[in-house]
Amino acid sequence: MKNSTLLKIASSSILKNKLRTLLTMLGIMIGVGAVIVMVAIGNGAQLQIKNQIGGLGTNLIIVMPGASTGGGVNQGAGTFNRLTVADADKLKRDGTTFNAVTPVVSARVQAIGPQGNWRTSVNGVSTDFLTIRNWSVASGSFFQQADVTSARKVAVLGATVANTLFPGVDPVGAQIQLGKVPFQVIGVMAAKGQNAGGQDQDDVVIVPYTTAQNRLSGNVRIGQILVSTASAEDVPAAQNEVTAIMRDAHKLYGDPDDFTVRNQTEIAEAMSSTTKVMSALLAAIASISLVVGGIGIMNIMLVSVTERTREIGIRMAIGARGSDVLTQFLVESVVMSLLGGFVGLGLGYGGAALLGHFTGWATATPPSAVAIAVGFSAAVGVFFGFYPARKAAGLNPIQALRFE
């Protein structure tokens, strides 16, 4: 039997009872739609995390204080701080795989402007900060090396601080007070939004690290050192080089590291693996409805075999082979599954778009998920349609003709 004839007979049989066909396909439609929505949410979450991690810096390596041990109890990372500006200088001087290095001097202060005040974070950094963080200035300018060398009291505001202290006004050239120290605003950073941890990256004031260390923190030790590489491929080698330079700077000959080195790739992979597991779990749960839909198809096809027993007998009596009957019923099952799959695909795309619109969640449907969902719906049609098709093909023509 020709393929075109098979499709014509299958379509005619499916359209003969439209309501029953629609109810049969409903399980497949819901299953495919649910899988697409769940995969879109999970994939969107992974992309959002990747973008947020990337927003923290370009090929970023973070050097943090190490752990302290007292009375045999390890207090954890960050409890033993030996980081200094000299360490950052040595990294920049001796490193061969780095393209930017900056110390970070952090402090929490009350920022006071002409129209209000705001408690915020102050980050004392070098001029390499913009390169490392892949950040740009929206208004004014960033400070120069001369400002760092002379420890000038100049500040660049994050967008949140600028909007709070100077609502509706460009603050460049204005004076603010950080703690008890007056600073001149020379620029405003472009808005970056929240990071992967939900922290507002724009709630910050950036000043030269020399100024922050001398006028705000009063501490010789620094909070962390940021290092970036020219490309992501250089990060592993650069991380090893950071460790070697830092061990030499701290004269750790045979002693364990008194610092911690992390990179953004490790953080991104950890968070991405978590979302992948959740996405797979959600998709697996949604796939159950595909199985339920397949069972519905099998039930309807079994009913169809019973209803069309005489028709099958007539076909076999005039020369149709059992394989023709088997193929005919399989084609009907697969066509119903595919129709349900394509309708479910549209429902899934629409559902994901609506969910993203009303909740603000990021959604993204990879082409592979579409292919898998449609392919799986066709496989469901073959799997659950085979038994009814085989039953139809196995009918005795004489008994089928006598069936009332």
Task: Say what the pLDDT of residue 361 is.
Answer: 72
Calpha distance 366→43 (Å, rounded): 8
Taking only Cα atoms into account, the Rg of the chain, rounded to an integer number of angstroms, comes to 33
Task: Say what the pLDDT of residue 401 is.
Answer: 56
pLDDT: is 358 or 279 the higher one?
A: 358
Residue 218 reports pLDDT greater than 50: yes
Calpha distance 306→310 (Å, rounded): 9
Task: Say what the pLDDT of residue 203 is.
Answer: 94
Residue 10 reports pLDDT greater than 70: no
Q: What does the block give as tokens for 123?
A: 């980050």
| pLDDT tens-place string over residues 286-330 | 667 777 777 777 777 777 777 666 766 777 777 667 677 777 777
Q: How many CB atoms lie within 10 A of CB 23?
A: 12
Calpha distance 16→28 (Å, rounded): 20
SS3 396: coil
Q: Which of 163, 205, 200 is nearest to 184 (CA)?
A: 205
pLDDT: is 13 or 222 the higher one?
A: 222
Which pairs from 215-220 meet CB under 8 Å and 24+ separation? Answer: 215/151, 215/153, 215/181, 216/105, 216/107, 216/109, 216/122, 216/124, 216/178, 216/179, 216/181, 217/105, 217/106, 217/107, 217/124, 219/105, 220/84
Q: What is the mean pLDDT of residues 351-374?
A: 77
Q: What DSSP character marks residue 190?
A: P
The letter for the amino acid at 297 is I
Q: Tell me the DSSP string of 25-70.
A: HHHHHHHHHHHHHHHHHHHHHHHHHHHHHHHT-SSEEEEEEEEEEE
Task: Say what the pLDDT of residue 205 is.
Answer: 96
Q: Tell me the DSSP string of 202-258.
A: TSEEEEEHHHIIIIII--SS-SEEEEEESSGGGHHHHHHHHHHHHHHHTT-SSSPPS
| pLDDT tens-place string over residues 71-124 | 444 444 545 678 999 999 999 999 999 999 999 999 999 999 988 899 999 999
| pLDDT tens-place string over residues 144-159 | 999 999 999 999 999 9
Q: What is the mean pLDDT of residues 376-383?
A: 77
Which pairs from 192-199 meet CB under 8 Å and 24+ separation? Answer: 192/55, 192/135, 192/158, 192/159, 193/55, 194/52, 195/52, 195/53, 195/55, 195/56, 196/49, 196/52, 196/53, 196/56, 196/267, 196/271
Residue 264 reports pLDDT greater than 80: no
pLDDT: is 316 or 208 the higher one?
A: 208
Task: Say what the pLDDT of residue 277 is.
Answer: 73
| pLDDT tens-place string over residues 70-84 | 444 444 454 567 899
Using the structure block, give the residue that is written with the tokens 């799959």. 341
Residue 388 reports pLDDT greater than 80: no
| pLDDT tens-place string over residues 153-199 | 999 999 999 999 999 899 999 999 999 999 999 999 999 887 656 67
